[in-house]
Amino acid sequence: MSEFKPVRGMRDLLPEDAQVLRAIEEKARVVARLYGYKEIVTPVVESYDLLSAKAGEEVKSRMFLFKDLGGRAVALRPEFTASVARLVASTLRNESKPLRLFCVGSVYRYDEPQRGRYREFWQSNYELMGSDRPEADAEILMLTNSLMQLTGLKKYVFKVGHIGVLKGLLGRENVDEKVQNVVMQLMDKKQHGDAVALLERSGASRECTSIIRKLVELKGANIFRVVDEIKTLVDGCTQSVEAVRNLGEVLELVSKSGCTIDVTVDAGFARGLEYYTGMIFEVYVPDLDIALGGGGRYNRLIELFGGEPTPAVGVAHGMDRIMLALQLQGGFEKAGEQKTAVVVPTKDELIGEAMKLAQVLREAGMTVELEVMGRKMSKVLEAAGRRKATFAVIIGEKEFREGAVVVKDLAKREQTVISVGKIKEYLKS
Ligand code: AMP
């Protein structure tokens, strides 16, 4: 039989990478706790109808879609928001608002595999339901900043915009909603020329396309000046003016909170998912031109799923990409390595005693590897040294009869005879 490999786009995470991924997950949980987001666990498989309702063509065309044995059209989740919105529209519909929910896990998209782009990847996801106020949007930006900070990431930048600026202009021109969605997807892929051409073909006025051409050029780190410039440019289009005013409010709150994040306002910024209605954002680091996280406001999704009208704002962080960015920046700061003891019986008759002692040490919280290969002592010690174990605890017949064992410090190459009763304290010190 030929050698089995992971399916294209899928990866095995070996211990070192798995440890970093889980450490990032832990940080994400810390952030959830600090901001009061309760964790929920939702299914990896959801109905295709739910997942495709407002995902946008791009995500829709990349879903792992199949029929289950009961003939239902289902898919592997490409994101968490649809599942959370389903819950808030049904089981959680009577929960008092605001509702802060957190989930973390793997998501699946049939993307073209390349660096930082996989078909199975991990997201930490936060949704704040029930508030339409700018402080809710600001909170999502701030918690994203907290996560990036906690992971030790440096030099990350927030790209922020507001979908209402473009939607306002297109709505005023009565551009069909389907065309609007395609325009947003083209903008998301930075195909601005194609977006404008499509608008021209769809009958948008010259004034509108001229404003859009100028908008896509309008971006910068001097955020309040860019906000003012957008305001001037869309003057007269009530919905767009309202959108840019709202964006200004959100950014002002973030800045008043004392949270010092690097922000670039980008007037021509759009995102692939169709459900956004307000502020949108992504996070980048200089060495990677793919986003580490993204989110925004979506006020109509829960209603669309049959729930009460519920304004909402959320974010998904790409944990694999955070890991990649950390590697590019010199690695994840690991917590101190746990001390490991290798417990070795010198003869088969002492295996039971070795297992008993190993268990006592584990109950005291130590990592203990029992010798299970029946190797010679020299081989065991050599292998333990290679794996950077801290101690070898050797159960020898003579010492054990006297209630003691030999403890070898593998780094210092020193050994001591310790009574079994005192070994826990000795190893811990
Ligand atoms: P989205 O909601 O589509 O913007 O996705 C949120 C985040 O998930 C992105 O900012 C990325 O960090 C991450 N992400 C999206 N697609 C992939 C992928 N194919 N591989 C790895 N991470 C991804």
pLDDT digits (tens, 9 = 90+) for 183-224: 998 998 889 999 999 999 988 899 999 999 999 999 999 999
pTM listed for this prediction: 0.92
pLDDT score at 336:
64
Q: Is the CB of 211 under 6 A from ligand 1?
A: no
- With CA atoms as reference, report the closest residue to 283 among 124, 56, 82: 124
pLDDT score at 355:
95
What residue's CA is closest to ligand 1, atom 1?
A: 294
- d(C-alpha 123, C-alpha 420), whole Å: 47
pLDDT score at 203:
86
Neighbours of 38 (CB within 10 A): 11
Cβ atoms of 162 and 268 within 8 Å: the answer is no
What residue's CA is closest to ligand 1, atom 20?
A: 117
The answer, yes or no, to whether the previous bond of 98 is cis (omega within 30 of 0) is yes
The average pLDDT across 165-179 equals 90
pLDDT tens digits, residue range 323-382? 999 999 987 776 666 789 999 999 999 999 999 999 999 988 899 999 999 999 999 999
Counting from 1 in the atom list of ligand 1, the atom nearest the Cα of 319 is: 12
CA of 249 to the centre of ligand 1 (A): 27
- The proportion of the chain whose per-residue pLDDT surpasses 90, expressed as a percent, equals 82
What residue's CA is closest to ligand 1, atom 4?
A: 294
Q: Is the CB of 24 under 6 A from ligand 1?
A: no
Q: What domains appear along the chain, each with residue ranges and CATH number?
A: 15-328 (3.30.930.10), 340-428 (3.40.50.800)
pLDDT tens digits, residue range 5-62? 999 999 999 999 999 999 999 999 999 999 999 999 999 999 999 999 988 788 899 9
CA of 336 to the centre of ligand 1 (A): 30
At residue 178, does pLDDT exceed 90? no
CA of 253 to the centre of ligand 1 (A): 27
At residue 387, does pLDDT exceed 90? no
CA of 293 to the centre of ligand 1 (A): 7
The average pLDDT across 247-260 equals 95
Neighbours of 313 (CB within 10 A): 29
Sheet of strand 340-345: strand arrangement: 367-370, 340-345, 391-395, 404-409, 414-419
Q: Is the CB of 117 under 6 A from ligand 1?
A: yes
3 state SS for the chain: CCCCCCCCCCCCCCHHHHHHHHHHHHHHHHHHHHHCCEECCCCCEEEHHHHHCCCCHHHHCCCCEEECCCCCEEEECCCCHHHHHHHHHCCCCCCCCCEEEEEEEEEECCCCCECCECCEEEEEEEEEECCCCHHHHHHHHHHHHHHHHHHCCCCCEEEEEEHHHHHHHHHHCCCCHHHHHHHHHHHHCCCHHHHHHHHHHCCCCHHHHHHHHHHHHCEECCHHHHHHHHHHHCCCCHHHHHHHHHHHHHHHHHHHCCCCCEEEEECCCCCCCCCCCCEEEEEEECCEEEEEEEEEECCCHHHHCCCCCCCEEEEEEEHHHHHHHHHHCCCCCCCCCCCEEEEEECCHHHHHHHHHHHHHHHHCCCEEEECCCCCCHHHHHHHHHHCCCCEEEEECHHHHHCCEEEEEECCCCEEEEEEHHHHHHHHHC
pLDDT score at 223:
94
pLDDT tens digits, residue range 108-140? 999 999 999 999 999 999 999 999 999 999 999
pLDDT tens digits, residue range 62-84? 999 999 999 999 999 999 999 99
How many Å from the N-terminal Cα to the C-terminal Cα in the chain?
51
Q: Is the CB of 321 under 6 A from ligand 1?
A: yes
Q: Is the CB of 79 under 6 A from ligand 1?
A: yes
CA of 177 to the centre of ligand 1 (A): 25
What residue's CA is closest to ligand 1, atom 16?
A: 117
pLDDT score at 163:
95
Given ligand 1 and candidates 123, 281, 283, which is best to mutate, with the most ligand atoms within 8 Å of its CB? 123
CA of 188 to the centre of ligand 1 (A): 13
